[in-house]
Amino acid sequence: MGASLQTEFGRSFDSLAVQRPLTVAEFFAGIGLMRMGLERAGWQVIFANDIDAQKREMYLGQYPAANQHFTLCDVHMLRASDVPTVTLATASFPCNDLSLAGARTGLNGRESSAFWGFVRILREQGERRPPLVLLENVPGLLSSHGGNDLTIILSTLNDLGYRVDMFVLDAARFTPQSRQRLFIIGTQIEEDFAFETSAILPLRDSTTRPEALERFICSHPTIRWSLRSLPSAPPSTRRLEQIVELLSDAAPEWWSPGRAAYLLNQMSQSHRERMNAMIARDVWSYGTVFRRMRNNRSMAELRTDGIAGCLRTPRGGSGRQILVRAGFGAFKARLLTPRECARLMGADHYIIHVPLNQALFGFGDAVCVPVIEWIATHYLNEAVRELQHRQPSLITTADMVP
């Protein structure tokens, strides 16, 4: 076939921007963990946008040079002409209106409607539209408004010329944190050059495409899918005790005995028994606690499997994850530190120069770095290789993904 094949969407492959180095426009950039994961796999962020000045402060603390390309504004106010031509656009758009913990107002909610600002940018870019997009959100999107919100997102990407794929990854496969997230990848490519597209059955993998996701795909045959086989996500051997900061017993982060005892008294009998067993051991062990409302009572729920619960933004007491240390007849409690949060997100050496709550908000809203690195390595880089193979005129031999 010729070097300027036309897609069914009226664009030639010559207009698809596969650049060297592999470039990224990062929307809803947060504190830069999407960037960190992509950079580990050979990508370069050349544009970033977020509305939150405090997150931008953390981002620039880690990436000072990003001051040249970080635009602080509401995505609805961003002009498409301000966004450079790139290979990949990422969007970790707000999940507040889509998650089970939120009000479930959906894509028209006050925060999650930011998705439409991202869509407007893509639409207005026209032929400069990136060949790849990566969206990240909570698995609750699968069921938000009976699945209608997700259908709208996928159909909208189709209308923009993207064939779509999606999968779920849990940060617990990479770090000691239970954090499932849904990822959607759109590929600007015609049917003849679509990635490995086949029936869903050969693509079954409980670690990336669980049954609920498989049902959604199979029940939406009118969506233009482009499904890629993925390897199983690796099992993680890292456990909670390996990310804990070893603070002295006199450190001010530890709660007073009275406050710690109050936490203990908020536990149900079964959780209290597990706590007592930890206290009785002749070794230090660690667990995490969330406070949750049960039958109109604030209850402390203990987790002792070596995995922390999902980091959240500290809006209200239930959002603050508590670390407990027990053994040798003693028990202590405190909030997770920002450094521990960074480690749980796979950003062990992140530069933290902001107050506690600001750091907790930043990490609670972020993506897990090794998850993004895995996606870039096993999906995005393979997708670019496919583009390079199918349309060599897009990129020179010197620009090839290694």
Q: 254 with 213, same domain?
A: no
CA distances from 312 to 242, 263, 362 (A): 20, 19, 9
What per-residue confidence (pLDDT) applies to 387? 75
Q: 209 with 64, same domain?
A: yes
Q: 291 with 153, same domain?
A: no
Residue 348 lies in a domain: no
C-beta separation of 225 from 217 below 8 A: yes
What per-residue confidence (pLDDT) applies to 293? 83
Q: What is the pTM of this model?
A: 0.88
What's the distance, CA 275 to chain centroid? 32
Residue 2 lies in a domain: no
What whole-number distance in Å separates Cα of residue 248 and Cα of residue 241? 15
What per-residue confidence (pLDDT) applies to 307? 96
Sign, Cα dihedral of 192, 193, 194, 197: positive
> Final residue of a domain: which of 336, 353, 381?
336
Residue 376 lies in a domain: yes
What whole-number distance in Å separates Cα of residue 257 and Cα of residue 326? 13
> Final residue of a domain: which of 336, 351, 377?
336
Residue 66 lies in a domain: yes
Residue 156 lies in a domain: yes
3-class DSSP state for residue 164?
strand
Q: 229 with 330, same domain?
A: no
C-beta separation of 278 from 272 below 8 A: no
What per-residue confidence (pLDDT) applies to 396? 33
What per-residue confidence (pLDDT) applies to 389? 72
Residue 5 lies in a domain: no
List the one residue out of 98, 177, 101 whose CA is nearest residue 370. Answer: 177
| CA angle (389 as vertex; 388, 391 as ends), nearest 5 | 65
What per-residue confidence (pLDDT) applies to 395? 36
> Final residue of a domain: which of 290, 315, 336?
336
C-beta separation of 332 from 255 below 8 A: yes
| CA angle (269 as vertex; 99, 267 as ends), nearest 5 | 50
What whole-number distance in Å separates Cα of residue 36 and Cα of residue 115? 22
User: Looking at the 3D structure of the chain, how many domains does it have?
Assistant: 2
What per-residue confidence (pLDDT) applies to 104? 45
Q: 140 with 29, same domain?
A: yes
Q: 107 with 17, same domain?
A: yes
Q: 146 with 288, same domain?
A: no
C-beta separation of 325 from 331 below 8 A: yes
Per-residue pLDDT of the chain in tens (402 residues, 90 and over written 9): 333 333 333 344 444 556 667 999 999 999 999 999 999 999 999 999 999 999 999 999 999 999 999 999 999 999 999 999 999 999 998 755 444 444 545 556 454 578 899 999 999 999 999 999 999 999 988 988 888 889 999 999 999 999 999 999 999 999 999 999 999 999 987 655 544 444 454 556 668 998 899 899 989 999 999 998 888 888 888 999 999 999 999 999 999 999 999 999 999 999 999 999 999 999 999 999 998 888 888 899 999 999 999 998 876 545 689 999 999 999 999 999 999 999 999 999 999 999 999 999 999 999 999 999 999 999 999 999 887 776 544 333 333 444
CB 371: neighbour CB atoms within 10 A? Answer: 25
DSSP 85-143: P-SEEEE----TTTSTTS---GGGSTTTTHHHHHHHHHHHHGGG--SEEEEEE-GGGGT
Domain that holds residue 295: 246-336
Q: 74 with 132, same domain?
A: yes
Q: 48 with 93, same domain?
A: yes
What whole-number distance in Å separates Cα of residue 235 and Cα of residue 218? 27
The CATH number of the domain holding residue 199 is 3.40.50.150
Helix (H) or strand (E) holding 375: helix 369-375
Residue 363, both tokens: 């990490």
What per-residue confidence (pLDDT) applies to 292? 86
Residue 241 lies in a domain: no
What per-residue confidence (pLDDT) applies to 106? 54
What whole-number distance in Å separates Cα of residue 303 and Cα of residue 286? 9
Q: 227 with 256, same domain?
A: no
Residue 354 lies in a domain: no
Q: Pairing state of beta strands 322-327 and 285-294?
A: antiparallel
Q: 108 with 148, same domain?
A: yes
C-beta separation of 160 from 80 below 8 A: no
Tokens 């069921």 -> residue: 143
Q: 310 with 394, same domain?
A: no
Tokens 């390897």 -> residue: 231
Q: What is the dihedral of CA 361, 30, 233, 180, to 10 degrees?
A: 50
Find the distance separating the first CA and the last CA of the chain, reported in whole Å: 26
